[in-house]
Amino acid sequence: MERRKFLTGAAAGVGAAVAAPAVHAQAPTVRWRMTASFPKSLDTCYGSTEEMCRRIGELTEGKFEVKLFGPGEIVPGLQAMDAVSNGTVEAGQAFSSFYFGKDPALIFDAGLAFGLNPRQQAAWMFYGGGLQMVREQYAKHNCVAIPCGNFGTQMGGWFRKEIKSVADLKGLKMRIGGFGGLALAKLGVVPQQIAAGDIYPALERGTIDAAEFVGPYDDEKLGLSKVTKFYYSPGWWEGSAQMTALVNAKAWESLPKAYQVAFETAATEQWVRMLANYDSKNPVALKRLVGAGAQLRWFPRDVMEAAYKATNDLLNEYAQKNADFGKFYASWTKFRDDQSAWYRVADHYLDTYTLGQLARKKG
Amino acid sequence: MERRKFLTGAAAGVGAAVAAPAVHAQAPTVRWRMTASFPKSLDTCYGSTEEMCRRIGELTEGKFEVKLFGPGEIVPGLQAMDAVSNGTVEAGQAFSSFYFGKDPALIFDAGLAFGLNPRQQAAWMFYGGGLQMVREQYAKHNCVAIPCGNFGTQMGGWFRKEIKSVADLKGLKMRIGGFGGLALAKLGVVPQQIAAGDIYPALERGTIDAAEFVGPYDDEKLGLSKVTKFYYSPGWWEGSAQMTALVNAKAWESLPKAYQVAFETAATEQWVRMLANYDSKNPVALKRLVGAGAQLRWFPRDVMEAAYKATNDLLNEYAQKNADFGKFYASWTKFRDDQSAWYRVADHYLDTYTLGQLARKKG
């Protein structure tokens, strides 16, 4: 108690610094570079990771600085994982779906088509064994994965023409990548890879017929309601788009325990804050988009059915040809089935009732 | 750069400690007591706050210790707010609904009947102005409020007899408190205040006809499926039961900035982790309860309609007679209406589709 009493209070000056437990005083100053996957213009997802970095600094009183760089400043956005893996940077902001081509099993980290919703994804990650599996998978790429955000369910994108049935998708050139592109290809869509900045002119000129990006708030920035008429929902291929901070494995191991904890805690804080930020901004943005002429549509039933079937076919194909994918798929499917059985009982039931009442009130 | 270089790396020993910025070395050792509202037996909600305290310690390398005490160890569970307010303890784990009688406006912090779901509650708190309003309200009680968890939608509770219509609620003695009790009283229920440990014998003897507690995982511990037959859903009075850490205002101000940040970050981390923990445990517990004979029921439509009306009547009554409540209600209603309009577009639509498919698959 005497020692504690001595350390408490307004002790200051070199003497106190030396007498104090030297844990912090001896802790090294660490400066890391983190490369982003999403552009600075997206104050939502880029901004969230920026906030995470600031928090890490505050938690360590500036001794552990993680500096975020926009895509292209160090490496292009889609090379974040490689840059972390080979040690070009210590950390990267990643969306694991981007690496589906490199390692299909990583897609479970980002949230799968017709899969767990954001809350269920958190349950799987933090208490259902998901994070451990994801970490084992990323370890093969020399990375440590730390969930650091979620986008919520995204929109289905912008279409020049109305989609009345699956037949209308035949030959449709759509800007969409990864798993969603593969599933839509089974429905006749011709997926196109186009950088965000090139979407507007491509739609304007009719080089493409449709494009998906994120959700109302981010989409609004691209101005797509000026060059297309129909705004479709939902982005079934991204019902729970989780963002991940990747850290180079060696860099992570070299970190003092308190800095590791600071990184992880700040990342989990962003898991809820990034989603909350999107949820607060999307409703208002959607109103503005509709006010500006965007016509809101839901994919017709037969498109949803075909998409659901195509998704399950694809998942089964990958589970059979890729052992890692198969291992994930088994764990994830069991967890999802349990989740959905429970979700129907209380949360979704109450949501459905309340949303229905509020819609009636409006109407 | 030279200075940075010097500080980086495996510097150790007194010399390095003195040369390092003394911020941490000078930071005081702080020991706080935190009193819990929920019992230690609930490893979910009590455990979550315990994890938060551990995290705060890890983040500050043990210099800021927040020690959690069970209800009754310092003050009874329902006196957590008073104990924080008058400085008996520096912090408390609170569920703001418990203080509805003392200050009705505080209920917006905990989540309202037929209100925002957990995710929407987070959006309102962190990006919709909710937290600021809640902090202003709690400041009147000498407390700083920090959201630190969420229970998700709770169950409607255990009933000895089946509820086929509102008429079956007439004169029904039910263990339920706060706002839910007031709303149910409008439907004929006679609310009873009974401690958790006394629910089982009261139901067994028939002293009461029904009781609500939390959700499947916590309820299972009380063994109520042995003394009642029907397990009802949803707990519409608690669709988003948010947990809050309360800190004595003066204690908070005396805290170094880095410790404040450690507390807030660790609390927000628990916001997602506590909910994820419940979400992972509830499905499995519900299966066990049903396996043990609990008969799952949803409140019939006319009960839901009457409850919705009673809730809105109550909210309007309080908004008119209590200015603070009225201010909250106006902000909250606008936010909820915007949220629900957007939620129907993507998230709830996709949830409904996917849950429907999975239910069909089960057959």
Question: Could you read off the pLDDT of B222-262 as tens digits, one per residue?
Answer: 999 999 999 999 999 988 999 999 999 999 999 999 999 99
User: Is 70 exceeded by the pLDDT of residue A131?
Assistant: yes
Q: Strand A190-192's sheet: what is its strand order? A: A190-192, A173-175, A210-211, A157-159, A230-233, A295-298
For tokens 């969420």, name the residue. B150
User: Which CATH number is B3-13+21-153+239-279 given?
Assistant: 3.40.190.170
Tokens of B212: 């609500």
pLDDT at B24: 54
Cβ–Cβ contact A352 with B under 8 A: yes
Cβ–Cβ contact B347 with A under 8 A: yes
Which residues are B35's β-sheet partners? B69, B92
Over residues B259-312, the pLDDT tens digits come to 999 999 999 999 999 999 999 999 999 999 999 999 999 999 999 999 999 999
Distance CA B225, CA B132 (A): 41
CB contact under 8 Å between A279 and B119, yes or no, is yes
Distance CA B73, CA B247 (A): 18
Q: Give pTM, 2 decimals.
A: 0.92
Distance CA B86, CA B11 (A): 45
Instruction: Tell me if B66 sits within 8 A of B53, measured CB to CB.
Output: yes
Mean pLDDT along residues A80-84: 98
Distance CA A279, CA A152 (A): 8
Nearest to A59 among B26, B59, B155 (CB): B59
Which residues are B149's β-sheet partners? B243
Distance CA A41, CA A346 (A): 38
Give B151's contacts in chain A (Cβ within 8 Å): none
- Burial of B293: CB neighbours in 10 Å, binned 0-12, 13-18, 19+: exposed
Tokens of A343: 């979700």
Distance CA B103, CA B101 (A): 6
Which range, of A14-23, A152-161, B19-28, B86-95, averages the lowest pLDDT?
A: A14-23
Distance CA A302, CA A209 (A): 20
Q: How many CA atoms lie within 13 A of B353 on its CB side?
A: 28
Q: How far is CA A70 from CA A13, A64, A65, in A?
A: 40, 20, 16
Distance between A244 CA and the closest CA of chain B, angstroms: 15
Cβ–Cβ contact A268 with B under 8 A: yes
Tokens of B2: 């030279």
Over residues A145-178, the pLDDT tens digits come to 999 999 999 999 999 999 999 999 999 999 998 8
| Residue boundaries of the structural domains of chain B | 3-13+21-153+239-279
Ranges of beta strands (E only) in chain B are: 30-35, 64-69, 91-94, 143-150, 157-159, 173-175, 190-192, 210-211, 230-233, 242-248, 295-298
Over residues A14-40, the pLDDT tens digits come to 233 333 333 455 679 999 999 999 999
Kindly state the helix (H) or strand (E) to which residue A246 belongs, with its residue range: strand A242-248
Q: CA angle, A149 as apex, A143 and A152 as ends, to 5°?
A: 130
Rounded to two decimals, the ipTM of the complex is 0.92
Q: CA angle, B350 as apex, A158 and A226 as ends, to 5°?
A: 15
Tokens of B231: 């397990």
CB contact under 8 Å between B279 and A154, yes or no, is no
Cβ–Cβ contact B26 with A under 8 A: yes
Instruction: Tell me if B268 sits within 8 A of A277, measured CB to CB.
Output: no
Cβ–Cβ contact B1 with A under 8 A: no
CB contact under 8 Å between B279 and A127, yes or no, is yes
Over residues A224-247, the pLDDT tens digits come to 999 999 999 999 998 899 999 999
Cβ–Cβ contact A302 with B under 8 A: no
